[in-house]
Amino acid sequence: MSYLDQQQMSTRKMVAIVLVVLLHAVIGYAFVTGLAFNVVKKVVVDLKTFDVNEAAPPPPPPPPDIKLPPPPVAAPPPIVSVQTPVAPPVVTVAPPPPIVAPPPPPAPPPVIQPVRASPRGSMQDLVTSDDYPSASLRNNEEGVTRYRLDVGSDGKVVACTVTGSSGHPALDDVTCRLLQRRARFNPAKDSSGQTTAAVWSGAVRWQIPKD
């Protein structure tokens, strides 16, 4: 506020004070002199016309923008968790079952090769020159008789068949008759080891001995 403004305001205050003093003096005189109320009211109204309104002071300047630090943030109290100790459960572990090795697979049955029938002794010794038929000696009959013997599972000859004739029926007949009576065989066996029937083939040479 300038000095001139302050001086004007002081003058106005002085004027107002003087008017108030005069008003009080008039009112007091009215009461003393007993003037009518209307005179006093008129004076009061007239005095109001001289009321001086003081100029409103300018608004104060806004306070400076002061940045205040943020209020301190207190850390929350630590959370203390109280755990009641719990006894661990008792777990009973059963022992593992014994490991039993599976039985080995059965061994395959042995492979048995079939066995052919075999003569007991030499087949050439079964028929000799002593067995020569007398009629064939007189007739000088000679030749080779081929035969086939059917051998049973017991090793005995059950049949004889001439497969190749010597050319002389007497020699052929004697051959089968003697072999069927004299020949014995070790029985043949199949792949399961069981004895079985078999066949044996051979030949007898008929020849007159020379003296």
**Which DSSP string do the residues of 98-158 spell out, in sequence order?**
P-PPPPPPPPPPPPPPPB--EESS-GGGTS-GGG--HHHHHTT--EEEEEEEEE-TTSBEE
Q: Name the residue ranges covered by the structural domains of the chain.
A: 3-48, 118-206
Q: How many CB atoms lie within 10 A of CB 115?
A: 16
One digit per residue, the tens of pLDDT, for the chain of length 211 reads 444 455 555 677 777 787 877 877 767 776 656 544 454 455 444 444 444 455 566 666 666 666 666 766 666 666 665 566 666 677 677 777 788 888 888 887 777 788 899 999 999 999 999 999 999 999 999 999 999 999 999 999 999 999 999 999 999 999 999 999 999 999 999 988 899 999 999 999 999 988 6
User: Radius of gyration over alpha carbons of the chain, in Å?
Assistant: 82
What is the CATH number assigned to the segment(s) 118-206?
3.30.1150
How much is the pLDDT for 94?
74
Label residue 28 exposed, middle or buried (CB < 10 Å: 0-12, 13-18, 19+).
exposed
What is the dihedral sign for C-alpha 129, 135, 140, 144? negative
How much is the pLDDT for 52?
47
How much is the pLDDT for 95?
77
Query: Is the whole model's pTM more than 0.75, yes or no?
Result: no
How much is the pLDDT for 45?
45
The maximal CA–CA distance of the chain, rounded, in angstroms, is 225
